[in-house]
Structure 1
């Protein structure tokens, strides 16, 4: 009984929190708008970092969004700011790191450039771990597994070939496929 009253109270509050004015304009809170009820402008791309301007270390940037016709927000009429994902960079170029790894990796210059000074010194003293460490670092940098030591991302063109690693853990659900069945 208490659960059904809670559900009814929730539905009542959500229905009456969205109101229509006398001229047919839908007035609501901007944070509750669904896709299609607003349109966001393109982000301003910073030419130095190739990411949206104002990208924070948490990987968020803000863009201005506008509501659809006949929808007005309670806060400030018909525009609001929305956070979009971005890749926070601090100035390490992907191309530079890869070229340093290919041509000067045996001396550890690639690791010095990325901020891993101890590994760079070890590679310098052992001639790139007898060139095996250089080969491994070329692969790790090319696949963007090794990133700058400060935790940021590489500078890659905004519309360039950035790699998004998809990881799987024990909480990942796999949809059964038809060809998995044993007959």
Structure 2
């Protein structure tokens, strides 16, 4: 009885090794849309996916998604492409050409004339700031803070163009769906 248990445990250790050695040269065709993390690298290491003009992934849409080329692990082939690459949506920030540095400098130096608001696509506020000398400089000061913290952005809803690893800010908000549920002291 003792020897048979020892034999079975040795066989259980040896079986995965035999299976790995036996299937080393095989490839498996799978649906690459259902891969788990670690089974692919996204984006492909040889793929230059950053657009130097917008500093975002190439092909970023208004829905803040971009399709990039991904590479699957060795031994896997995608059914969609019949090779080891596939396209996957990744998050991005859609930009429409408005520079963060330009809008901040306009706000600091010409904000009392409304140049920052005209540049960002808010002509009514720009005209109001122009006619009141930036709300007696209080509006200019407020706009410098609002633009620097990226609370005020372009009027079309796009994000600022800034360096890829620049000072981007993600604003965290809370609402009725993200409140914290009290935990019991069990």
TM-score normalized by the length of structure 1: 0.79
The corresponding residue for 1:35 is 37
- How far did residue 173 of structure 1 move? 4.2
Aligned residue-pair number: 158
- How far did residue 75 of structure 1 move? 1.6
Q: Structure 1 stretches of 5 or more lacking a match?
A: 1-20
Structure with greater Cα Rg: 2
Are positions 1:90 and 2:90 aligned together? Answer: no
TM-score normalized by the length of structure 2: 0.78
CA distance in 2, matches of 1:175, 1:155: 37
Q: Structure 2 stretches of 5 or more lacking a match?
A: 1-22
Are positions 1:157 and 2:166 aligned together? Answer: no
After superposition, give the CA deviation of every residue in 1:17-47 in whole Å (9 maximum; x if it has no partner): xxxx9x7533321111111111122552111
CA distance in 2, matches of 1:76, 1:58: 25
Which runs of structure 2 are paired with 1:23-172 in the superposition (5 Å)? 24-40=26-42, 41=44, 43-77=48-82, 78-172=84-178
CA distance in 2, matches of 1:52, 1:25: 31
- More divergent stretch after superposition (81-90 vs 34-43): 34-43
- More divergent stretch after superposition (167-176 vs 34-43): 167-176
Helix, strand or coil at the partner of 2:128: helix
